[in-house]
């Protein structure tokens, strides 16, 4: 016959065994940019939660750190860049990071506190562009589309200043950190500024831009990126589906006046 104590011990073990619950899954850490993108991702966070996926949003203020953090394993995903930028980062740093889904496109614009149109730019005007290869190239393509410069044939979507073959107004192109361009606008005749930084500075792409790029066949759709080793994991599909949901499409369409356009 079992003793009273062994019976009690067995009962206690049974309670521990069958009554215990599995530990809760850690929230996914997603690196995003501050400002309007943070607002969008807070909505994604709600949609994901309704679908059983908990997101922790890690907010950055520059374009350098989110890929470093993802590559190092400090993030599960990030969502702040377009493919040309990711491609250049992979080539430069050897990151094993891949795109798993598109989010939105933010047309880049040329802004000025001194002129109201590109025709008013004088000979020798100083134009600021982002100093990273992808956004800098995007800025040069915008200047070319406005007839201000001509780029060498076949330069693709990442030209540099050395690819300028015609510059009839002898524009001085200054390459600055993307996050600094809006703050430097008073010292420049004009600057090509990414939409997120423009809006943070109180600039409206629709009403304040001297020129803005076309959204037709735009290669600069923003994306969600993960480490290559994680691309087929279930959380990736769930994260992309939460963003590419009807709720988020409607939220973008209804709240940003065309500064952000769904890319899915």
Q: Is the pLDDT of residue 240 over 90?
A: yes
Higher per-residue confidence, 178 vs 15? 178
Q: In this predicted structure, what is the pLDDT of residue 257?
A: 81
pTM as predicted: 0.76
Same domain, 146 and 167: yes
| Paired tokens of 4 | 């009273």
Q: Is the pLDDT of residue 18 over 90?
A: no
Q: Is the pLDDT of residue 208 over 60?
A: yes
**Mean pLDDT for the stretch of residues 89-95:** 96
Same domain, 100 and 226: yes
Same domain, 156 and 190: yes
Q: In this predicted structure, what is the pLDDT of residue 51?
A: 97
pLDDT in tens, 135-154: 999 999 999 999 999 999 99
Q: In terms of residue numbers, what domain contains 133?
A: 109-212
259: confidence class by pLDDT, cuts 50, 70, 90: confident
Higher per-residue confidence, 24 vs 235? 235
Is position 4 within any domain? no
Q: Is the pLDDT of residue 17 over 80?
A: no
Is position 60 within any domain? yes
Q: In this predicted structure, what is the pLDDT of residue 24?
A: 53
- CATH number for position 227: 3.40.190.10
Is position 9 within any domain? no
Look at the chain and report how many structural domains it folds into.
2
Same domain, 202 and 235: no
**Mean pLDDT for the stretch of residues 27-45:** 97
pLDDT in tens, 52-91: 999 999 999 999 999 999 999 999 999 999 999 999 999 9
Is position 241 within any domain? yes
**Mean pLDDT for the stretch of residues 215-219:** 82
Same domain, 236 and 115: no
**Mean pLDDT for the stretch of residues 22-34:** 83
Same domain, 40 and 73: yes
Q: Which of 191, 212, 233 is the last residue of a domain?
A: 212
Same domain, 43 and 121: no
**Mean pLDDT for the stretch of residues 27-50:** 97
212: confidence class by pLDDT, cuts 50, 70, 90: very high
């Amino acid at each position: 016959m079992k003793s009273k104590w062994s019976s009690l011990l067995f009962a206690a073990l049974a309670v521990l065994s069958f009554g215990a619950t599995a530990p809760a899954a850690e929230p996914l850490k997603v690196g995003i940019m501050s400002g309007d993108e943070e607002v969008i991702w807070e909505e994604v966070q709600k949609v994901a939660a309704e679908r059983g996926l908990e997101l922790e949003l890690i907010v950055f203020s520059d374009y350098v750190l989110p890929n470093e953090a993802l590559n190092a394993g400090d993030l599960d995903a990030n969502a702040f860049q377009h493919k040309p930028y990711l491609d250049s980062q992979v080539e430069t740093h050897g990151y094993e990071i891949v795109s798993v889904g598109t989010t939105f496109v933010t047309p880049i614009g040329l802004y000025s506190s001194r002129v109201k149109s590109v025709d008013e730019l004088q000979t020798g005007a100083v134009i600021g562009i982002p100093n990273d290869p992808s956004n800098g190239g995007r800025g040069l393509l915008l200047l070319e589309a406005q007839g201000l410069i001509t780029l060498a044939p076949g330069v693709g979507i990442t030209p540099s200043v050395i690819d300028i073959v015609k510059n009839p107004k002898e524009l001085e192109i200054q390459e600055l950190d993307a996050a600094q361009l809006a703050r430097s606008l008073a010292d420049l005749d004009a600057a090509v500024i990414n939409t997120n930084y423009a809006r943070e500075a109180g600039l409206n792409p629709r009403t304040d831009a001297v020129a803005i790029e076309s959204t037709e066949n735009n290669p600069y759709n923003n994306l969600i990126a993960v480490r290559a080793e994680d691309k087929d994991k279930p959380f990736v599909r769930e994260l992309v589906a939460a963003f590419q949901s009807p709720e988020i499409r409607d939220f973008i369409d209804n709240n940003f006046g065309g500064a952000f356009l769904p890319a899915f």
